[in-house]
């Protein structure tokens, strides 16, 4: 079997920096805080951290509105702190992936100040400016992701500018070669400092229709859906020209050894896999979010895995994601018992898993009282459940004040059960979901069948989904019970004997298996076939 690279056999752990660890008592997590928790991550067994944005930002969208691509927001520390974090991570064998946000900057970025200063400013064309429509309204019908129109009127220059997200996040014009060069230089700035790769924010948005045609209405839209979904995003993103840009980003990355390019892409499967590039010159890992939206049952999950495996281009490496800072937490979506099945699924499928901080302790969405709402989406479209604060709450570390996250009141409330659900408590409980993660990760690391082997579909029977992972002579059978009733997992006819390596219940290690294993409700097992 060909050797795999770190971003193929490894595990990525996503850190939302505001919420991981505060080091200076302002209630907001920071780089020094992350650095102080590196040993925890090593102990957990992950290989890389992806840190959501920490660059200078007015924080209209909590760092996804960047006013300087080459610095650190004082809230998070200084460039020296970043360098120290990177060095300490590397010293522990951890890779560091940054969040790169090329689609839009902050409206406070000097580029945008210049761009809006006058129509003949050299930076005018760095953003997307258009004359009003004949009726003086916006140039077309495009909508913004957090509510409202995607065009904002600039009275001093009498044109509209385009923003796929907030008005404070104007879209850069990626048709302008100077913009591309400037952004490639940003990548090199961080690559030269030693970072190991990038997760590229909304990569499928970078190119818009050259003719700015109206998006068609979405016939499936109904009340209660985000207003952006009134239209199908046909012309505002995923344009054919995007793939050339992705290949250019990849070429910059490829100028450095052993780096990774991950793309954030919310698209249907057939369009998603195009982001690998026809000759694999695109993103190494176009994020695969299908499990986030899956109906949680054996048949549906098995179908998703099979279709994804079949759709991957030759040589394209798979990846799986259960949750992130924009989505409901997995334990909230599927419940505490199935969160353990979800962990076993994520960590035994073929392809790179990305683990969202807090998943490993079964953290759930935290209800945010109206007075403490932070997310601009919740503020713009309140009460409909779109707000992302609930999934961004502070990591609870121990039983001390503010769960060890901060000496001050945290920027978002802690989980109400933080006295029981915290890292220290769960570490001490051998059966906890945290220790399940540790065991699963250790097993994945030590078995090539799990971290790089083939995926072989076994069967779906009622609530049971079973598959094999194979490498060389090794065959591991994974059985996941998505239901509330016991299930019998029958071993394959050509390998009827085995040994149980791990159960989600953490109490059946080393059990011999003859012919079949009886799974309890919501139990998952990994069996080594003899
Ligand atoms: C996707 C990011 O994950 C999300 O948090 C952000 O609000 C938007 N892109 C805009 O950058
Ligand atoms: Ca802080």
Structure tokens at 111: 């580029």
Structure tokens at 32: 């020094």
What's the CA dihedral at 159, 165, 170, 176 to 10 degrees? -100
CA pair distance 102, 158, nearest whole angstrom: 26
Whether the CB of 146 sits within 6 Å of ligand 1: no
User: In the prediction, which pLDDT does 232 show?
Assistant: 98
Catalytic position from the list 22, 99, 201, 378: 201
Q: Which candidate, 220, 215, 230, places its Cα nearest to that of 142?
A: 215
Nearest atom, ligand 1, residue 101 CA = 11
Nearest atom, ligand 1, residue 377 CA = 7
Kind and range of the H or E element at 20? none
Whether the CB of 466 sits within 6 Å of ligand 1: no
Catalytic position from the list 99, 264, 360, 375: 264
CA pair distance 218, 222, nearest whole angstrom: 9
Domains of the chain, by residue range, sit at: 6-105+177-439, 110-162, 454-529
Q: At what angle do helices 177-193 and 79-91 cross, to 10 degrees?
A: 60
CA pair distance 241, 426, nearest whole angstrom: 49
- Active-site residue, 300 included: no
What is the distance in A from the centroid of ligand 2 to the CA of 30? 5
**3-class DSSP state for residue 479?**
strand
Q: What topology does CATH give the domain 454-529?
A: Immunoglobulin-like (2.60.40)
What backbone torsions phi and psi does residue 169 show, to the nearest 5 degrees?
-125, 70
Whether the CB of 22 sits within 6 Å of ligand 1: no
Number of CB atoms found within 10 A of residue 201's CB:
20
Whether the CB of 395 sits within 6 Å of ligand 1: no
Protein residue with its CA nearest to atom 8 in ligand 1: 64
- Active-site residue, 32 included: no
User: In the prediction, which pLDDT does 19 show?
Assistant: 99
* Pair 269, 316: CB distance under 8 Å: no
What are the residue ranges in the chain where pLDDT is below 50?
A: 1
Protein residue with its CA nearest to atom 6 in ligand 1: 64
What is the distance in A from the centroid of ligand 2 to the CA of 517? 49
* Pair 311, 268: CB distance under 8 Å: no
DSSP 177-239: HHHHHHHHHHHHHHHHHT--EEEETTGGGS---TT-PPPPB-TT--TTS-GGGGB--SSSS--
CA pair distance 285, 319, nearest whole angstrom: 7
Protein residue with its CA nearest to atom 11 in ligand 1: 64
CA pair distance 380, 143, nearest whole angstrom: 13
User: In the prediction, which pLDDT does 1 show?
Assistant: 46
What is the distance in A from the centroid of ligand 1 to the CA of 101? 9
Kind and range of the H or E element at 312? none
Whether the CB of 73 sits within 6 Å of ligand 1: no
* Pair 18, 411: CB distance under 8 Å: yes
- Mutation choice for ligand 1 from 54, 59, 164, 165, CB with most ligand atoms inside 8 A: 165
- Mutation choice for ligand 1 from 63, 326, 381, CB with most ligand atoms inside 8 A: 326
CA pair distance 250, 224, nearest whole angstrom: 38
Whether the CB of 101 sits within 6 Å of ligand 1: yes
CATH of 110-162, one of 3.90.400.10, 3.55.10.10, 3.40.50.80, 3.20.20.140: 3.90.400.10
Instruction: Supply the pTM of this predicted model.
Output: 0.98
Q: Which candidate, 342, 437, 331, places its Cα nearest to that of 391?
A: 331
Nearest atom, ligand 1, residue 104 CA = 11
CA pair distance 486, 514, nearest whole angstrom: 18
CA pair distance 355, 491, nearest whole angstrom: 30
The CATH architecture that domain 6-105+177-439 belongs to is: Alpha-Beta Barrel (3.20)
* Pair 527, 498: CB distance under 8 Å: yes
Number of CB atoms found within 10 A of residue 227's CB:
18
CA distances from 484 to 296, 303, 461 (A): 13, 21, 14
| Long-range contacts from 41-45, C-beta under 8 angstroms, 24+ separation | 41/13, 41/94, 42/92, 42/93, 42/94, 43/438, 44/13, 44/360, 44/437, 44/438, 44/441, 45/11, 45/438, 45/441, 45/442, 45/445
Structure tokens at 500: 């149980």
Domains 6-105+177-439 and 454-529 belong to one CATH topology: no
Kind and range of the H or E element at 379? helix 376-380
Nearest atom, ligand 1, residue 146 CA = 7
What is the distance in A from the centroid of ligand 2 to the CA of 463? 45
């Amino acid at each position: 079997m060909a050797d795999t690279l770190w971003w193929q056999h490894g595990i990525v752990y996503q850190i939302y920096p505001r919420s991981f660890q505060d080091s200076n008592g302002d209630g907001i997590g920071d780089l020094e805080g992350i650095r102080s928790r590196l040993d925890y991550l090593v102990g957990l067994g992950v290989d890389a951290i992806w840190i959501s944005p920490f660059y200078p930002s007015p924080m209209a969208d909590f760092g996804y509105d960047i006013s300087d691509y080459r610095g650190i927001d004082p809230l998070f520390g200084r460039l020296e702190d970043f360098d120290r974090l990177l060095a300490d991570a590397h010293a522990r064998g951890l890779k560091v992936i940054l969040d790169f946000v090329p689609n839009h900057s902050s409206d406070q970025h000097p580029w945008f100040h210049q761009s809006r200063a006058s129509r003949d400013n050299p930076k005018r064309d760095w953003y997307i400016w258009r004359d009003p429509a004949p009726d003086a309204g916006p140039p077309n019908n495009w909508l913004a992701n957090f509510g409202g129109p995607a065009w904002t009127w600039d009275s001093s220059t009498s044109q509209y500018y385009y923003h796929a997200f907030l008005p404070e996040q104007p879209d850069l014009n990626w048709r302008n070669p100077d913009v591309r060069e400037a952004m490639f230089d940003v990548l090199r700035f961080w690559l030269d400092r030693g970072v190991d790769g990038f997760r590229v924010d909304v990569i499928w948005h970078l190119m818009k229709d050259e003719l700015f045609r109206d998006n068609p209405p979405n016939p499936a839209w109904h009340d209660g859906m985000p207003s952006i979904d009134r239209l199908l995003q046909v012309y505002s993103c995923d344009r054919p020209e995007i793939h050339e840009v992705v290949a250019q980003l990849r070429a910059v990355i490829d100028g450095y050894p052993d780096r990774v390019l991950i793309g954030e892409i919310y698209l249907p499967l057939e369009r998603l896999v195009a982001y690998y590039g026809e000759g694999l010159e695109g993103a190494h890992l176009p994020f695969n979010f299908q499990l986030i939206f899956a109906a949680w049952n054996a048949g549906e999950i098995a179908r998703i895995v099979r279709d994804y495996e079949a759709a991957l281009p030759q040589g394209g490496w798979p990846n799986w994601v259960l949750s992130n800072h924009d989505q409901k937490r997995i334990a909230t979506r599927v419940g505490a018992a199935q969160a353990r099945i979800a962990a076993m699924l994520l960590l035994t499928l073929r392809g790179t898993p990305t683990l969202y901080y807090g998943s490993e302790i079964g953290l759930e969405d935290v209800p945010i009282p109206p007075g403490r709402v932070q997310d601009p989406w919740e503020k713009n479209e309140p009460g409909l459940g779109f707000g992302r604060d609930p999934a961004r709450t502070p990591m609870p570390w121990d039983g001390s004040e503010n769960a060890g996250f901060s000496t001050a009141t945290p920027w978002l409330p802690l989980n109400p059960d933080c006295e029981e659900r915290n890292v220290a408590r769960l570490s001490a409980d051998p059966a906890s979901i945290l220790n399940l993660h540790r065991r699963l990760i250790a097993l994945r690391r030590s078995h090539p069948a799990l971290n790089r082997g083939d995926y072989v579909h076994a069967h779906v029977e009622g609530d049971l989904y079973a598959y094999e992972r194979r490498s060389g002579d090794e065959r591991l059978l994974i059985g996941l019970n998505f239901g509330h009733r016991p299930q019998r997992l029958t071993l394959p006819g050509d390998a009827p004997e085995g040994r149980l390596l791990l159960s989600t219940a953490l109490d059946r290690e080393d059990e011999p298996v003859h012919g079949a294993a009886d799974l309890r409700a919501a139990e998952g097992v990994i069996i080594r076939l003899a």
